[in-house]
C-alpha cells in the first residue's frame, strides 16, 4: 500500500512538473515561434497586390507548384543601404548597452549595499519613469535638447556658450534618448544579482590584503557576470530594432533598421521585403546568442 502511494505521488509530481514546464514553452511557441514562421513564410513569397501575404504554393490542374523567392535576401546582402543600416543599428545598440552598463552598475551596486529600508525607495526611483508614457518621455528630450531648449538656455544663461549648440537630430541626441530609455533594464537585473551576493567573500578578500579595487574586479564583477549578461541582453536586443527614439531624436546620419522596416511595411507596402529584413534582424540577434549560450554551457560543464 505504501509503495503504491509513493508511486502515485511520484507520478503526480512528474505530471505537475511537466505541466509547469509546458506552460512557458506553449507561450513561447504561440507568442514567438508561430509569428516568426508566418513572417518567414511571407519573406519567401511574391506579393500579389491585394494580398500582402503573397502566394507560396499554387495548385493548377492538380499540380502543386511551390514558389520560394529568395531575391529579397540576395538584394539585402548586395544593397549597401541595408548593410550600412544593419551595421548602424548594431553600433548604436552596442554603444547604448555599454553606456547603460557603465552608468547602471554603480547605481545597482549602491542600491544593493544600501540599508534594507532604503532599497524600496531606490527601486521606486528606478521604476518611476515607467509610470509615464514612453512617447511622452522621449518627446521631453526634444524640449531639452532643441536649439531653443532647456539645456541650451541654461548654458547660455551661465555664459558657457555664446550661441545654441546643435544637439537635436544627431548621434548625441539618439544615444542620450536610448540610454535614458533602456537604463532601467540594465539596473534591475544587476541589482537582483548584486543584492544576493554573499558579503563574506568581500570580507575574506579584505582580510587577505586585497584593496577595494582588487576586490571589486576579482570578486564583485565575476560574481555579478550573470546580471551583466542579462542586463546587456535586455538592452541590446530591443535597442537594435528601436524605431520611436531614432524617429524623434535621430537624423539622417542615425538611420536604423526600425525605420527601414516601417517604410517597407507601411510606405512601400512591400510585405515580403519587410519580412525578409525582419528575419535577417532576428538572425543577427539570435545566432550570436545561441553560439554564446552554447559556449557558456560548455565552459560550465568543464
Q: Are 262 and 275 in contact (CB under 8 A)?
A: no
* Confidence bin at 296 (pLDDT 50/70/90): low
Taking the alpha carbons at both ends of the chain, their separation in whole angstroms is 44
pLDDT of residue 100: 95
Q: Which residues pair with 66 in a beta bridge?
A: 57
Using one digit for the tens of pLDDT, what is the confidence trace for 97-129?
999 999 999 999 999 988 888 888 988 888 888
pLDDT of residue 18: 73
In the predicted model, what is the mean pLDDT of residues 59-76?
A: 77
In the predicted model, what is the mean pLDDT of residues 58-75?
A: 76
- Secondary structure of residue 209 in the 3-state scheme: coil
pLDDT of residue 109: 92
Q: Where are the alpha helices (DSSP H) in 79-170?
A: 80-113, 119-127, 134-145, 150-157
Q: Where are the alpha helices (DSSP H) in the chain?
A: 2-28, 34-43, 71-78, 80-113, 119-127, 134-145, 150-157, 171-194, 199-207, 212-215, 221-223, 225-240, 244-249, 257-262, 271-301
**CA 292, CA 302: separation in Å to the nearest integer?**
16
pLDDT at 9 over 60: no
**CA 259, CA 253: separation in Å to the nearest integer?**
12
pLDDT of residue 244: 87
Using one digit for the tens of pLDDT, what is the confidence trace for 25-46?
888 888 888 888 888 888 888 7
Q: Are 276 and 264 in contact (CB under 8 A)?
A: no
- Secondary structure of residue 57 in the 3-state scheme: strand
pLDDT of residue 92: 92
Q: Which residues pair with 158 in a beta bridge?
A: none
pLDDT of residue 107: 92
**CA 289, CA 295: separation in Å to the nearest integer?**
10
- Rounded mean pLDDT of the chain? 82
Percent of the chain surpassing pLDDT 70: 85
In the predicted model, what is the mean pLDDT of residues 60-72?
A: 75
pLDDT at 288 over 80: no
* Confidence bin at 285 (pLDDT 50/70/90): confident
Which residues contact residue 276 at a Cβ distance below 8 angstroms, ignoring those fewer than 6 apart?
Answer: 43, 72, 73, 76
* Confidence bin at 56 (pLDDT 50/70/90): low
pLDDT at 293 over 80: no
pLDDT of residue 295: 65
Q: Which of 79-88, 96-105, 143-152, 190-199 has the highest mean pLDDT?
A: 96-105
pLDDT of residue 49: 59
Residue listed under C-alpha cell 571589486: 216
Amino acid at each position: 500500500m505504501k509503495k503504491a502511494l509513493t508511486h502515485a505521488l511520484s507520478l503526480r509530481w512528474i505530471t505537475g512538473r511537466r505541466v509547469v514546464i509546458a506552460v512557458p514553452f506553449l507561450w513561447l511557441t504561440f507568442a514567438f515561434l508561430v509569428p516568426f514562421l508566418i513572417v518567414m513564410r511571407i519573406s519567401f513569397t511574391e506579393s500579389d497586390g491585394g494580398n500582402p501575404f503573397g502566394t507560396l504554393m499554387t495548385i493548377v490542374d492538380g499540380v502543386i507548384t511551390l514558389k520560394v523567392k529568395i531575391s529579397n535576401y540576395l538584394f539585402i546582402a548586395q544593397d549597401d543601404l541595408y548593410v550600412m543600416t544593419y551595421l548602424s543599428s548594431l553600433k548604436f545598440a552596442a554603444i547604448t548597452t555599454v553606456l547603460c552598463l557603465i552608468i547602471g552598475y554603480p547605481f545597482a551596486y549602491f542600491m544593493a549595499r544600501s540599508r534594507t529600508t532604503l532599497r524600496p525607495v531606490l527601486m521606486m526611483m528606478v521604476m518611476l519613469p515607467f509610470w509615464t508614457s514612453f512617447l511622452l518621455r522621449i518627446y521631453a528630450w526634444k524640449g531639452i535638447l532643441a536649439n531653443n531648449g532647456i539645456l541650451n538656455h541654461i548654458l547660455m544663461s551661465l555664459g558657457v556658450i555664446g550661441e545654441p549648440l546643435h544637439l537635436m537630430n544627431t548621434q548625441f541626441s539618439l544615444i542620450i534618448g536610448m540610454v535614458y530609455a533602456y537604463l532601467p533594464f540594465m539596473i534591475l537585473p544587476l541589482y537582483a544579482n548584486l543584492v544576493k551576493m554573499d558579503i563574506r567573500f568581500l570580507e575574506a578578500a579584505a582580510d587577505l590584503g586585497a584593496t577595494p579595487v582588487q576586490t571589486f574586479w576579482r570578486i564583485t564583477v565575476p560574481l555579478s557576470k550573470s546580471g551583466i549578461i542579462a542586463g546587456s541582453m535586455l538592452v541590446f536586443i530591443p535597442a537594435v530594432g528601436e524605431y520611436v527614439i531614432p524617429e524623434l531624436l535621430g537624423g539622417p546620419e542615425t538611420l536604423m533598421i526600425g525605420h527601414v522596416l516601417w517604410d517597407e511595411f507601411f510606405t512601400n507596402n512591400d510585405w515580403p521585403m519587410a519580412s525578409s529584413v525582419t528575419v535577417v534582424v532576428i538572425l543577427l540577434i539570435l545566432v550570436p546568442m545561441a553560439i554564446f549560450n552554447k559556449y557558456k554551457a560548455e565552459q560550465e560543464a568543464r
